[in-house]
Structure 1
Amino acid sequence: MSNLAAARVIKNFRLKQLLRVESHIRQLGPLSDHTIPALEPGSKTAVLPNPFIPRKTLTSKKWKPPVYSLRQQVELVKKAKAAGLLHLLPPGPKNPIPSTDVKEAIKGIQETPNSMSLGTLKHQLKDNKKDKSLWMNPVAWEGRISTRKVRGRELGITLYAGKKRMFKGHKWERARRLKMKKRQMVLKSMERRIHNFKNYYRRRRPDPLKPPRTSKSPKLPF
């Protein structure tokens, strides 16, 4: 996918989130005061619900899964990185919270006169004005994000981060060590075992073509 197509996907994502605030409030209730990045009192920056995190409904008191699944979040993050628009996506499990320096930069952008309220943004979008930079206006994403520090994630080791052991392997791989140990123990006395086996049958059946001396089933010497 080209950078232009990736930027178009991020643009559609932002416009969709800007136009679905009413339905979100109607289903899940009013937005909370917790936003990322943190806003100062009286800020005119638009606040949007974070579609990357689960939410608790006010009526049923049950948790509702995020609007975008983890697979969809990964695809959006990849396209945003390709287009250089990662700062326009909300933070989530696949898009961690930016560092302090980035937060301060975003906060500085939001305090500029270009920042406008959500009502003004939506009004201009519905009027179909041709200002292509409306969808890039800074917003604050509402919702609490649970951050859990996992060793190895900062190094890019995401597959086995926080796990006590690596891939468990196949069954034959797990039993191979014990199997080889038993095999080595048997091989140490293999010459003696072969000698006992041959002499045992030689004593009982000197001539294999003749009938056995007894009808009882013989017992092996090992």
Structure 2
Amino acid sequence: MSTITRRLFSSSSIIRSTALENTLPLNPSSPVHAKHLPRVLQRRIAKRIEAIEQSSEDGSIPSTINIPNPFLVQRTNRRSSESELTGEARYNWKKPSISNRRQKQLLQLYPSIDLPISAKSKRTPLAPALGSESEELLEIEGISRPVRWNDKITINWTGQLKPKQQKQKDVNEGTTKSLYSGRKLMFKGHKDERNRTQKLADRQTRLDGMEKRIKDWRQGRNDEKIRNRPSLPF
């Protein structure tokens, strides 16, 4: 067993690989108990609750607490300057506090329905077992299941997962796709390729006036011969 896997087993409370059979059928919008979460998420929730309790004057804790989803990129604060291209506001972003590799390992040990929403989670295999209504809810991307810490406190994971954009199919399926089919051109190309359009235009301009230049050149050559001809007959 590798070091990372051993750490995951040692830092997890309950491996729920077969625990779903005791909870089906379930509603994805219903809170999951914190004891079913990995210990790394339990520590994160406990740390946030402790910070809220210390910051409050009377030590009271709200019934609903919002915690940033550690599996997603989070938007922090707004930048002072807007985008030069679109003019829209720009923001600073914070990377997920739990890496993608760690997320994938946690998803192998715990059902994805219990964990916060992640780009690595695949919830479709659970849909047939959960029923048609739950299946429709699971297809909605960006929804994380709330967590019931105790009888008084409920945790909500904040952060939205952007839906994946489906690639558009070509009208002519028989035609071969180019490297940048339906994509933005990312590379400048060679200097010869960038200057080719102007080079061809200049060449065509010279070809259009070629007859006049040849005529002028011949006339100039004849005039030069006449000027250089000696005036004396000997």
Q: TM-score, normalised by structure 1?
A: 0.39
Q: Which has the higher strand share?
A: 2
Answer 1 or 2: higher relative contact order, Cα 8 Å, separation at least 6.
1
Q: TM-score, normalised by structure 2?
A: 0.38
